Structure 1
Amino acid sequence: MSEGSGGEKTEQPTPKKLQDAAKKGQIARSKDLGTAFVLIGSAAALLIFGKMLALSVLTIGQRMLRLDQKDIFETNSMFSAWGEVGRELAWPMAGIFFFILLAAFIGNTLLGGFNFSWEAAGPKASKMSPLKGFKRMFGLQALVELGKSILKVAVVIGVAYLLLNVFFMDIMALSLMSEPNNIESALYFLGWLFLGLCASISIIALVDAPYQKWNHVKQLKMSLQEIKDEHKNSEGSPETKGRIRRTQMQMSMKRMMQQVPTADVIVTNPTHYAVALKYDQGKFRAPAVVAKGVDEVAMHIRKIANEHKIPVLESPALARSIYYTTKLDHPIPEQLFAAVAQVLAYVYQLKMYRKGKGSRPKNLAKELPIPEDFRH
């Protein structure tokens, strides 16, 4: 087999290949994207809850630096003070932690979606192999990570220098401000500086996320032979499908033959076609086909009918018409009501005659009222 036709992995991974890889924990993930979301979420939380946090810190500082006679002689004053600290910090810290957790979840599931795999969490001997570890340290992926790290440092230093130049005079002016404005302003500047530095990381993430997606698909690419093998394994080999179809047909044929003894009449061609009709007023408004077949199947239907003394009538046109227009266990079409009614009336009169309750019926008409578009 040539390499281009089967060995070379040139085809996009199939949905099954992607699903199997996800079960093993192999999905596209960008650590830089998750880190950028966490940092930006932290900065946004600091900007939103910074003033509340600053006021809480100020209140805590005033409480801790204030000492009165009650605090000196009260043995539980330290514990009560810590309780006040917890109450002051509860709401701002809860808001900040919520933003960070939400940003972490979004950042780590934005690329590849939410996925958990026990197989990926389990220990693997390959991860402890020194040889494979050496390959990871000096492989292409390691070079890419080294390049990203150098780029991160350069971008962060550049953005930090730019932000310090922009806010330098405002930061220096903090020493001239009185509390609590100086604390609020300090946290405000800190939040914006932090947000600017975090936003610089997002530049790396915007490059890394598409690369990780492309690299993930590249690692899962398949050869034409792999696609054929997957299709064969999922759909089953032609031999297996053939055996299944034969088994299904045999089971269906057996069920159909079991219905023949319940029929009211068998209409034949007389040799090539046979259909078994049953009129169950509680189930259908018209006679239904409980069995039908051609050649050997038709012969078997007639044999079972003779064994159970089911009337067998020859009407070639009607037999072919019912065979081609009516499915198993379905009532006959309305256009054939008149023809089938004559057949059932003849069968009923014949049964009465055999019981000695009536005269012998006239032979069934050779030409039954069958519409032209129902003749086959």
Structure 2
Amino acid sequence: MAYIRLDLQFFADEKTEKASPKKRQDSRNKGQVPKSNDINTALILLIVFLFLWLFGGAILGTTMTDILKHVFQSYLLLEVTEQNFEMIFYDLIMQAATVLLPVLLMALIAGVFSSYIQVGALFTTEPLKMSLSKINPLKGLKRLFSMRAIVDLLKSLLKITLVGTLVFVILWFNLEDVMLLSQKTVEDGFHVIAQLTALLGVAVAVLLLFLAIPDYLYQKYDHEKQIRMSKKDIKDEHKNMDGDPKIKSKRRQKQMEMAMSRMMQEVPKADVVITNPTHFAVALRYDEENADAPIVVAKGVDFVAQKIKGLAAKHDVVTVENKPLARALYAQTDIGQQVPEDLFKAVAEVLAFVYRLKNKQVN
């Protein structure tokens, strides 16, 4: 029996169920989302090199030429002093920033776009929180020799092989231009190198983008595997969301007791209690100023009916036995509702009897 109990506990804790919407949202709030860094890298490279290929000559070429002219025409004529060195350093930094700013801006846009198409709009500081488990050496060793680490190693080897092959092929087809660089002017040589670099960058980026698609699919599969839930997890989640059934039962019982108490407080104010006589009891009150018809202030069967009749007798509320009317009122009305139209006549006759009875008692 002990072995069977342990096996059942093992299967209950085994994570075989898909994650619930709440578990997915909780994981997302913690920054745990399926995301491929390879897609980010590939898109950043692609957009940056496309930008350099299309606009690099107009932006970088002119700016770099102006910088070189200014260096050789002005800076070389200055004395080497601390003030001049600071001035030259500041100027070169600002000019370099002017050159690099458009490229960095395109890289930023590409990074944000690649993350957005994978995970949507998400901002969380949860991954930045300090956690000792992140620097646990045992967990580090476990991650180092995990299946994910092996997959990452194989991916890296595949990427290195394919990228190296692609670069070799492109250089082989442009080998003549490379070999003739020594016979070209500096401007023409720079143009050839820039075009070849942009071509290599775009080609490598496109290759990495194709390789990133299966990586994203694997990351999505691995994420789904990581957030799986056991049957016990699902039950615990339902308990936390809906409340413990025992607590809910006690809460419901307490609400019923409070409703019963409020109902019993209205019985002494009733004009009449119509009974079955043993199984049903319905208490009515008629206020001409506030209602067009009598209102049911209390009703019950069996034990509750007996309690209503007891309170009525204690507070001198008239009790009238009418089996069909008592059953009809109990079935067709709720507490606080007016008497239905089809029962007006029967209820009016009962109330008339009650009022005549009260008048006789007064006289």
Pairwise same-fold verdict (TM > 0.5): yes
Q: CA deviation at 1:153?
A: 0.8
Query: Equivalent residues in 2 for 1:32-47 (5 A)?
Result: 32-47=38-53
- Alpha-carbon distance between aligned partners in 2 of 1:209 and 1:203, rounded to the nearest angstrom: 10
Please identify, of 291-300 and 230-239, the stretch whose mean Cα deviation from structure 2 is larger.
230-239
TM-superposed deviation, 1:247: 1.6
Aligned position for 1:14: 20
Work out whether residues 279 and 301 of structure 2, in 8 Å CA contact, stay in contact via their aligned partners in 1.
Answer: yes
**Equivalent in 269, 273, 279 of residue 266 of structure 1:** 273
CA deviation vs aligned residue, 1:49-74 (integer Å, no higher than 9, x gap): 53552365157437725858xx99xx
Aligned ranges 1:103-182 → 2 under 5 Å: 103-113=110-120, 114=122, 116-118=124-126, 120-165=127-172
Q: Does 1:291 align with 2:298?
A: yes
Identity %: 36
- Report if the CA contact (8 A) 1:269-1:319 is conserved: yes
Is residue 310 from structure 1 mapped to residue 285 from structure 2 by the alignment?
A: no
Deviations 1:172-209 (A, max 9, x none): 89996997x99888766644432221121112211111
TM-score normalised by structure 2 residue count = 0.75
246-255 vs 341-350, which deviates more?
341-350
Residue 31 (structure 1) aligns with: 37
Query: What CA distance in whole angstroms lies between the structure 2 residues aligned with 1:340 and 1:51?
Result: 98
SS at match of 1:328: coil
* Paired residues of 1:54 and 1:187 also in contact (CA < 8 A): no
**Separation of aligned partners in 2, 1:345 and 1:60:** 110
What do the CA deviations read for 1:226-252 (whole angstroms, capped 9, x no partner)? 434444454444433332222221122
2:92 and 2:144 map into 1 onto residues whose CA distance is: 51
Q: Aligned letter for 1:141?
A: R
Matches of 2:177 and 2:315, distance apart in 1? 106
- Alpha-carbon distance between aligned partners in 1 of 2:180 and 2:336, rounded to the nearest angstrom: 92
Cα distance in structure 1, aligned partners of 2:135 and 2:266: 66
CA spacing shift, 1:282–1:193, aligned 2, 3 Å: farther
| Aligned 1:64-75 pairs, distance under 5 A | 64=70
Which one-letter code corresponds to 1:28 in the other structure?
A: P
RMSD, aligned α-carbons? 4.1
Counterpart residue type for residue 153 of structure 1: I
Question: Counterparts of 1:46-61 in structure 2 under 5 Å?
Answer: 46-47=52-53, 49-50=55-56, 53-54=59-60, 57=63, 60-61=66-67
Deviation string for 1:32-59 (max 9, x for gaps)?
2332233233334445653552365157
SS of the residue 2:24 aligns to: helix
Aligned residue among 201, 204, 212 for 1:205: 212
- Given residue 248 of structure 1, which amino acid in structure 2 is its aligned partner? Q
Separation of aligned partners in 1, 2:150 and 2:295: 75
Q: Which of 298, 317, 335 is equivalent to 1:328?
A: 335
Deviations 1:105-133 (A, max 9, x none): 34335445525253x43333333333332
Which has the higher mean CA deviation after the structures are superposed, 279-288 or 249-258?
279-288
1:255 aligns to 2:238 (yes or no): no
CA separation of 1:88 and 1:27: change in aligned 2, threshold 3 A: closer
Secondary structure in 1 matching 2:17: coil
What is the SS of the residue equivalent to 1:277? Answer: strand
Q: Which amino acid aligns with 1:305?
A: A
**SS of aligned partner of 2:282:** strand
> Aligned partner of 2:33: which letter?
I
Distance 1:313 1:146, change over 3 A: same
| Unaligned runs of at least 5 residues, structure 2 | none
How many residues get paired? 348
* Partner SS, residue 27 of structure 1: coil
Distance 1:266 1:150, change over 3 A: same
**Equivalent residue number for residue 225 of structure 2:** 218
Following TM superposition, by how much is the alpha carbon of 1:94 offset from its aligned partner in structure 2, in angstroms?
Answer: 5.5
The runs of 5 or more residues in structure 1 that have no matched partner are 357-376
On the 8 A contact 1:50/1:184 being kept in 2, the answer is no
After superposition, the Cα gap between the structure-2 partners of 1:93 and 1:257, relative to the gap in structure 1 and judged at 3 Å, is farther
Distance 2:271 2:160 in 1: 90
